[in-house]
Amino acid sequence: MAGKQMEMTGAEMVLQALKDNGVEHIFGYPGGAVLPIYDELHQQDDIEHILVRHEQGAGHMAEGYARSTGKPGVVLVTSGPGATNVVTALQDALMDSIPLVCLTGQVPTSLIGSDAFQECDTVGITRPCTKHNWLVKDVNQLSRVIHEAFRIATTGRPGPVVVDIPKDVQFATGIYTPPSPVIEQKSYQPKLSGDLEKIRAAIDLMAGAKRPIIYSGGGVINSGREASQLLRELVELTGFPITSTLMGLGAYPASGKNWMGMLGMHGTYEANMAMHDCDVMICIGARFDDRITGRLDAFSPNSKKIHIDIDPSSINKNVHTDIGILGDIGHVLEDMVRLWRASKKTDRSQLADWWTQIAKWKGRNSLAYPSNKDVIMPQYAIQRLYELTKNRDTYITTEVGQHQMWAAQFYGFEEPNRWMTSGGLGTMGYGFPAAVGVQVAHRDSLVIDIAGDASIQMCIQEMSCAVQYELPVKIFILNNQYMGMVRQWQQLLHGNRLSHSYTESMPDFVMLAEAYGGVGIRCDKPDDLDGAIQQMIDTPRPVIFDCRVAALANCFPMIPSGKAHNEMLLPDEATDEAVANAIDAKGRALV
Amino acid sequence: MNAQHQPTGSAYFIAAETARPESHTLSVLVDNEPGVLARVIGLFSGRGYNIESLTVSETEHEAHLSRITIVTTATPNVLEQIKSQLERIVPVHRVVDLTVRSAELGHDKPLERELALIKVSGTGDNRVEALRLADAFRAQVIDANTEHFIFEITGRVSKIEQFIAIMRPLGLVEICRTGIAAMNRGPQGM
Asked if A128 lies within 8 A of B77 by C-beta distance, the reply is no
- Say what the pLDDT of residue B14 is: 47
Residue A554 in this model has a pLDDT that exceeds 90: yes
User: Of B77, B104, B131, which residue sits at a domain end?
Assistant: B104
A509-541 as b/e, with b when 16 or more CB fall inside 10 Å?
A: bbebbeebebbbbbbeebeebeebbeebbeeee
List Cβ neighbours of B150 (8 Å cut-off, separation of 6 or more). Answer: B117, B118, B119, B120, B141, B142, B143, B144
Mean pLDDT of A382-399: 98
A167 a catalytic residue: yes
Is residue B11 domain-resident? no
Active site residue A118: yes
Residue type, B172: L
Q: Which of B90, B92, B93, B97 is the best mutation test for A, with the most CBs of A within 10 A? A: B90
**Total number of domains in chain B:** 2
In angstroms, the CA A3 to CA A57 distance is: 35
Helix (H/G/I), strand (E/B), else coil: A570? coil
* Residue B85 belongs to some domain of the structure: yes
Average pLDDT of chain A, as a whole number:
95
Q: Active-site residue A485, yes or no?
A: yes
Both B117 and B45 in a single domain?
no
Does residue B3 sit within a domain? no
Mutation target to probe the B interface, by most B beta carbons within 10 A, among A106, A164, A187, A297 is: A187
pLDDT higher than threshold 90 for residue A469? yes
Tell whether B129 and B89 lie within a shared domain: no
pLDDT value, residue B17: 63
Confidence of residue A345 (pLDDT cuts 50, 70, 90): low
- The confidence band for A584, taking pLDDT boundaries of 50, 70 and 90, is confident
Measure CB to CB from residue A313 to each of B30, B39, B81 and give the nearest one: B81
Residue ranges of the domains in chain A?
6-176, 196-362, 378-548
Q: What's residue A570's pLDDT?
A: 92
| pLDDT value at residue B9 | 39
Cβ–Cβ under 8 Å, residues A254 and A413: yes
Between strands A48-51 and A25-28, the pairing is parallel
User: Which of B57, B89, B104 lies at the terminal end of a domain, its last residue?
Assistant: B104
pLDDT at A588: 76
Sheet holding A474-479, edge to edge: A419-420, A394-398, A446-452, A474-479, A543-548, A519-523
Burial of B132 (0-12, 13-18, 19+ CB in 10 A): exposed
Q: What is the pLDDT of residues A90-131, one digit of tens each?
A: 999 999 999 999 999 999 999 999 999 999 999 999 999 999
Q: Report if residue B57 sits inside a domain.
A: yes
pLDDT at B190: 85
Residue B73 carries which DSSP code?
E
Supply the range of the domain harboring residue B132: 111-182
The answer on pLDDT for B6 being more than 60 is no
d(CA A366, CA A268): 6
Residue B69 inside a domain? The answer is yes
DSSP for B152-173?
EEEE-HHHHHHHHHHHGGGTEE
C-beta separation of A226 from A192 below 8 A: no
- Taking alpha carbons only, the member of A267, A350, A284, B106 closest to residue A276 is A267
Given a contact cutoff of 8 angstroms between Cβ atoms, the answer to whether A174 and A137 are in contact is no
A10-20 vs A35-42: helix axis angle to the nearest 10? 60
Size of interface A-B (CB pairs under 8 A): 69
Establish if B34 belongs to a structural domain: yes
Q: From CA A137, how far away is CA A116, in angstroms rounded?
A: 17
Between A22-36, A183-197, A281-295, the lowest mean confidence (pLDDT) is in A183-197
A378-548: which CATH topology? Rossmann fold (3.40.50)
Q: Determine contact, residues A368/A557, Cβ cutoff 8 Å.
A: no
**CATH number for the domain that contains residue B123:** 3.30.70.1150
| CA-to-CA separations, A69 to A3, A55, A221, B166, in angstroms, rounded | 27, 21, 11, 68
CATH class for domain A196-362?
A: alpha beta
Nearest-neighbour CA in chain A from B135: distance (Å): 46
3-state secondary structure of B25: strand
CB A301 within 8 A of CB A318: no
Peptide bond just before B76 cis, omega within 30 deg: no
Residue at B9: amino acid letter: G
- Mean local confidence (pLDDT), A61-68: 98
- How would residue B77 be classed by pLDDT, with cut points 50, 70 and 90? very high
Among residues A16, A27, A91, A167, which one is catalytic? A167
Asked if B80 lies within 8 A of A316 by C-beta distance, the reply is yes
pLDDT higher than 50, residue B5:
no
Q: Of A337, A342, A244, give the one whose Cα is nearest residue A292.
A: A244
Q: Do A96 and A247 touch, CB atoms closer than 8 A?
A: yes
Q: Cβ of B62 under 8 Å from any chain A Cβ?
A: no
Model confidence at A4, pLDDT cuts 50, 70, 90, reads: confident
pLDDT per residue as tens digits for the range A22-63:
999 999 999 999 999 999 999 999 999 999 999 999 999 999
Contact A542, A513 (CB under 8 A): yes
Of B9, B35, B93, the CB nearest to A318: B9
CATH number of the domain at B46, please: 3.30.70.260
What span, in angstroms and rounded, lies between the C-alpha atoms of A85 and A77? 9
Active-site position among A12, A13, A27, A55: A55
Please check whether residue B31 touches A, CB under 8 A: yes
* Dihedral over Cα of A229, A231, A235, A241: its sign: negative
Q: Helices (DSSP H) in B2-57: which residue ranges?
A: 36-46
Report d(CA A135, CA A235) in Å as an integer.
46
Residues B109-165: tens digit of each pLDDT? 999 999 999 999 999 999 999 999 999 999 999 999 999 999 999 999 999 999 999
Q: Report the relative pairing of strands A100-106 and A242-244 from DSSP bridges.
A: unpaired
Using DSSP's 3-state secondary structure scheme, residue A136 falls into coil
Separation between Cα atoms, residue A550 and residue A524, nearest integer Å: 9
Measure the N-to-C terminal CA separation of chain B; round to a whole number of Å.
26
Window A:295-334, CB contacts with B under 8 Å: 295-297, 311-313, 315-318, 320
**pLDDT band, very low/low/confident/very high, at A578 (cuts 50, 70, 90):** confident
- Boundary of a domain, candidates B104, B133, B157: B104
Q: What class, spelled out in words, does domain A6-176 have in CATH?
A: alpha beta
Distances (CA, A) of A374 to A367, A403, A404, A525, A532: 21, 20, 23, 6, 16
ipTM value for the complex: 0.90
Q: What are phi and psi of B15, to 5 degrees?
A: -65, 135
pTM of the model: 0.94
> Of residues A7, A117, A514, A534, which has the active-site annotation?
A117
- Which residues 219-278 of chain A have a CB within 8 Å of chain B? none
Single-letter residue type at A588 = R
Burial class (CB in 10 A: 0-12, 13-18, 19+), A301: exposed
B182's enclosing H/E stretch is strand B181-183
Write the DSSP symbol of residue A544.
Answer: E
Same CATH topology for A196-362 and A378-548: the answer is yes
For residues A205 and B115, give the distance between their C-alpha atoms in angstroms, rounded to a whole number.
53
The phi and psi torsions of B114 (rounded to 5 degrees) equal: -135, 150
What is the spatial distance between Cα A436 and Cα A542, in angstroms, rounded to a whole number? 10
**How far from B189 is each of A453, A571, B96, B183, B185, CA to CA, in Å?**
61, 61, 11, 9, 9
The mean per-residue pLDDT over the stretch A57-80 comes to 98
CB-based contact A216:A263 (threshold 8 Å): no
Asked whether the predicted pLDDT for residue A482 surpasses 60, the reply is yes
Residue A521 confidence (pLDDT) above 90: yes
Burial of B41 (0-12, 13-18, 19+ CB in 10 A): middle
E-strand stretches of A432-518: 446-452, 474-479
| B80 in A contact zone (CB under 8 Å) | yes
Say if CB B154 and CB B99 are below 8 A apart.
no
Using CB atoms within 10 Å of the CB of residue A479, give its burial: 0 to 12 exposed, 13 to 18 middle, 19+ buried: buried
Q: Show the CA angle centred on residue A12, arms to residues A10 and A14, nearest 5°.
A: 70
Q: Taking CA A470 as the corner, what is the angle to CA A467 and CA A476, rounded to the nearest 5 degrees?
A: 65
Contact A104, A82 (CB under 8 A): yes
Beta partners for A326? A309
In a domain, B79, yes or no: yes
- Give the Cα separation of B17 and B24 in Å (integer): 18
CB A66 within 8 A of CB A100: yes
3-state SS, A168-237, equals HHHHCEEEECCCCCCCCCCCCCCCCCCCHHHHHHHHHHHHCCCCEEEEECHHHHHCCHHHHHHHHHHHHH
- pLDDT above 90 covers what percent of chain A? 90
